[in-house]
């Protein structure tokens, strides 16, 4: 997360002309990466002027992108022909006055029923909303009677179970908040279809991005902690219950200039490759833990999402970018 106080005017870049400025570069560390991205692929900047872009989610029914700007308490919508416009405000805090520097929604998900699911910092809950009718409903807002810290990112099992992370980034005092915080742990949780909430991990300092492997046998969680910059993995049973976690990838032991990085959000492709926001870009890691390559934006990069149009969409500080995939 990035703490930014300034509110920056939103700008759409050449939406109608379909000509976008480019930034960064593609770095390949393994021959297999050249089957994912062309070495000449361009990182196009499709939106700028955001405060802190996060939580991208592609909506297949309509072919557009949604993403959060938590400091602006807004979810934005981007379409290739129409450009960008506000989609939902407030997105994560419906109270009065100033709550925190990042009161809005963070991670977004289109669930198996086609509803928009949001991790809400300010209202401290997981919500869902019918995309046609509108109106939010709470999926979960507390654990053992206590409100969550600030739900951050989320994924869903095919059986309907949700998995999400709950670090303190959206609290007014963040880690040091002793007034609003009621749960000591920065937990990783599951929410069953019947609404039962289970803390499946209590020992991570800064849990952040979360995603399931294609066969749903493994749950991955990023830890944005410089002293323990891990991607954790947890075995998942068919009923959605989760086993004990272990370190899948340790950035402090990685080469390619990644040893000082820690991951934010992530997505996983059909081959099981992990696309993690880290080291000012998207680092692509194989299912065996090998770094394949990097999409280097050159700015702090939070997350990404696969579009049905063949692009990978990337939220990167003030920008939303995209890059054409080969598969």
Q: What is the DSSP letter of 203?
A: -
Residue 118 structure tokens? 């949001």
Active site residue 264: yes
Whether omega before 90 lies within 30 degrees of 0, making that bond cis, reads: yes
Asked if residue 54 belongs to a known ligand binding site, the reply is yes
By the 8 A CB rule, do 133 and 113 touch? no
Residue 89 structure tokens? 């405000």
Which listed residue (30, 264, 269, 309) is catalytic? 264
By the 8 A CB rule, do 144 and 123 touch? no
- How far apart are alpha carbons 109 and 84 in whole angstroms? 19
Residue 17 structure tokens? 């002309």
Measured between alpha carbons, how far is residue 241 from residues 120, 193, 266 in Å? 24, 12, 21
Asked if residue 152 belongs to a known ligand binding site, the reply is yes
- How far apart are alpha carbons 149 and 140 in whole angstroms? 12
Asked if residue 208 belongs to a known ligand binding site, the reply is yes
By the 8 A CB rule, do 277 and 304 touch? yes
Residue 135 gets the label, from left (phi > 0), alpha (psi -120 to 50) or beta, of left
Residue 50 structure tokens? 């955001």
By the 8 A CB rule, do 83 and 100 touch? no
Asked if residue 120 belongs to a known ligand binding site, the reply is no
In the annotated binding site for substrate, the residues are: 152, 175
Catalytic residues: 264
In the annotated binding site, the residues are: 54, 152, 175, 208, 264
In the annotated binding site for a divalent metal cation, the residues are: 54, 208, 264
């Amino acid at each position: 997360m990035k703490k930014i106080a300034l509110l920056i005017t939103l700008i759409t870049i050449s939406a109608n002309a379909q000509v976008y400025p480019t930034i960064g570069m593609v770095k390949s560390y393994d021959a297999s990466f050249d089957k994912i991205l062309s070495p000449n692929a361009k990182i196009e900047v499709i939106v700028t002027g955001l405060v802190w872009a996060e939580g991208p989610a592609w909506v297949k029914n309509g072919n557009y992108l949604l993403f959060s700007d938590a400091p602006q308490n807004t979810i934005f919508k981007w379409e290739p022909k129409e450009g960008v416009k506000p989609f939902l405000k407030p997105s994560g805090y419906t109270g009065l006055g100033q709550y925190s520097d990042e009161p809005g929604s963070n991670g977004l998900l289109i669930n198996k029923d086609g509803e928009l699911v949001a991790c809400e910092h300010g209202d401290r809950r997981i919500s869902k909303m019918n995309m046609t009718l509108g109106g939010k409903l709470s999926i979960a807002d507390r654990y053992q009677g206590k409100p969550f810290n600030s739900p951050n990112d989320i994924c869903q099992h095919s059986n309907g179970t949700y998995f999400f992370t709950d670090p303190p980034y959206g609290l007014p005092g963040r880690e040091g908040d002793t007034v609003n915080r009621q749960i000591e742990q920065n937990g990783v949780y599951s929410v069953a279809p019947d609404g039962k909430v289970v803390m499946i991990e209590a020992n991570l300092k800064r849990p952040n991005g979360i995603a399931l492997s294609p066969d749903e046998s493994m749950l991955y969680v990023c830890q944005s902690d410089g002293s323990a910059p891990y991607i954790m993995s947890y075995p998942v049973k068919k009923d959605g219950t989760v086993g004990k976690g272990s370190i899948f990838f340790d950035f402090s032991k990685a080469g390619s200039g990644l040893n000082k990085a820690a991951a934010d959000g992530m997505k996983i492709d059909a081959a099981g490759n992990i696309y993690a926001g880290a080291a000012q870009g998207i680092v692509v890691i194989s299912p065996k833990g090998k770094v394949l390559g990097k999409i280097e934006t050159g700015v702090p990069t939070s997350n990404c999402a696969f579009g049905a149009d063949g692009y990978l969409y990337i939220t990167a500080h003030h920008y939303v970018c995209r890059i054409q995939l080969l598969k």
